[in-house]
Amino acid sequence: MISNASSTEAHGADAQPNVLLDDFLAYTLALQQPAHTGAAAQGSCAQGQLRWVWLDDGVLQLGPVHTTCTTPSVLLSAGIHGDETAPLELLSRLVSDLAAGRATLACRLLVVLGNIGAMRAARRYLDDDLNRLFSGGYAEVPASREASRAAALEEAARQFFTAAQVAHPRGSRWHLDLHTAIRPSVFEQFALLPHTRTPVAPALVAWLGAARIAAVLLHTTKSRTYSHFSAQTCQARACTLELGQVRPFGQNDLTHFAATDTALRDLLAGYSPAAGAEGSPRVPRVFTVIDQITKHSEAFELLVAADVPNFTPFPQGTVLARDGAYRYVVQHEQERLVFPNPGVKPGLRAGLLVIEAPREALFALPGPAVSA
């Protein structure tokens, strides 16, 4: 019995020695591309069970050779912020395992490694935060190095899900956008659900529970994130996942992400956490956004410790920020601060304020923002 066959052999005779599939992250970071686009940019793997197509730098589609009208379509993205390395390593390992037949793929999968220029520079972004440029936001900053990438990634998602609508009309559509946070968090792993005026799919809530996501944050306004775009425009079950703290490449302990990794692999293999679970599935705590702190000018001051964890609660009356005549004062009995970041550009969000909501809020039709 050959137990140490190289992974190249595992791809079968129809694939060239394939660093593309063995280490898609390294391939992408090296700015490698298939020698010829078109026929040479695709092939089969997993002993002929799967087809792969390289679509663009950092954009790879995989799927079973045989699909049906109920085959789901799953978009997994990471590195939309270039310095959020662990999810990139996680997705790259997943691609390698699928291609070698070590993991099962029962759905169409689009893997997107987001901001490659920023990854190579070990930065969050080069000119503009890519996750503020979707839903057409890129048109407002045409000179930005992130603008063309936002447009390209929108188009990749649109084409992927449009094709699903035609060929797999009864298949579910998912988009999980994987991030790591800049700072520690009271809830180490949490999800942000976009505001689309439709109730959250129970299957998504069940998946979040299976992935041990401790808290869910419900947006109450539209945003220009990648997951908002795919939820709004492509009707995908979409969310942004915050999976822990940022570390440089190679310094991530992927065992820390084991629950997410397992839940992702189960989703791709076609196991549904809701199916068969008669008892109530693990449901995350739910928070809704009630306000934001806006940076108006360079005089802006955030009046909290620089390393304050996400979801830290503050009592009514606390002054959290000031900027000229502007003050942010906590209005509710308690408000929790998420994503405080005084380093953003003037005019942008320097922090979100959330309050806890009953879990039923997950399944209710979201309304407009609660006035503070």
Chain-centroid distance, C-alpha 201: 17
Length of the chain: 372
Q: Which is nearer to Zn ion, 77 or 96 (CB)?
A: 77
Q: Which is nearer to Zn ion, 63 or 79 (CB)?
A: 79
Q: Which is nearer to Zn ion, 84 or 188 (CB)?
A: 84
Which window, 34-42, 179-187, 220-228, 292-300, contacts Zn ion (CB under 5 A)? 179-187
Q: Compute the least distance from the CB of residue 181 to Zn ion, in Å.
A: 7
Taking residues 70 to 99 in sequence order and writing x for each that binds Zn ion by CB under 5 A, - otherwise, the string is -----------x--x---------------
242 noted as active-site residue: yes
Which window, 10-18, 31-39, 164-172, 174-182, contacts Zn ion (CB under 5 A)? 174-182
Q: Compute the least distance from the CB of residue 243 to Zn ion, in Å.
A: 10
CA distance 296 to 328: 12
For residue 14, CA distances in Å to 17, 36, 47, 108, 110 come to 10, 16, 9, 20, 21
Cβ-proximal residues to 253 (8 Å cutoff; 6+ apart), any chain: none
CA distance 97 to 46: 9
Q: Compute the least distance from the CB of residue 84 to Zn ion, in Å.
A: 5
Residue 19, SS3 per DSSP: helix
Secondary structure tally for the chain: helices H, strands E? 9, 16
The per-residue b/e assignment along 83-100, b for 16 or more CB within 10 angstroms, e otherwise, is: bbbbbbbbbbbbbbbbbb
Dihedral-angle region of residue 342 (phi above 0 means left; psi in -120 to 50 means alpha; beta otherwise): alpha
Taking residues 122 to 161 in sequence order and writing x for each that binds Zn ion by CB under 5 A, - otherwise, the string is ----------------------------------------
Name the residue whose CB lies closest to Zn ion.
179
DSSP states of 203-253: HHHHHHHHTT--EEEE--S----HHHHHHHHH--EEEEEEEEE---TT---
Which window, 9-17, 43-51, 176-184, 207-215, contacts Zn ion (CB under 5 A)? 176-184
Task: Give the pairing of strands 190-193 and 59-64.
Answer: unpaired
Instruction: Find the angle CA(146)-CA(152)-CA(153) to the nearest 5 degrees.
Output: 90
Q: Compute the least distance from the CB of residue 179 to Zn ion, in Å.
A: 3
Which window, 110-118, 178-186, 204-212, 229-237, contacts Zn ion (CB under 5 A)? 178-186
DSSP classification of residue 256: G
> Any contact of residue 224 with Zn ion (CB under 5 A)?
no
Q: Which is nearer to Zn ion, 59 or 88 (CB)?
A: 88
Q: Which is nearer to Zn ion, 84 or 291 (CB)?
A: 84
The residue from 84, 146, 154, 242 that is catalytic is 242
Q: Compute the least distance from the CB of residue 256 to Zn ion, in Å.
A: 17
CA distance 16 to 154: 30
For Zn ion, the binding residue among 11, 132, 179, 237 (CB under 5 A) is 179
Q: Which is nearer to Zn ion, 206 or 211 (CB)?
A: 211
Q: Compute the least distance from the CB of residue 295 to Zn ion, in Å.
A: 18
Which window, 172-180, 295-303, 325-333, 340-348, contacts Zn ion (CB under 5 A)? 172-180
Q: Which is nearer to Zn ion, 52 or 311 (CB)?
A: 311
Q: Which residues bind Zn ion (CB under 5 A)?
A: 81, 84, 179
Give catalytic residue positions: 242
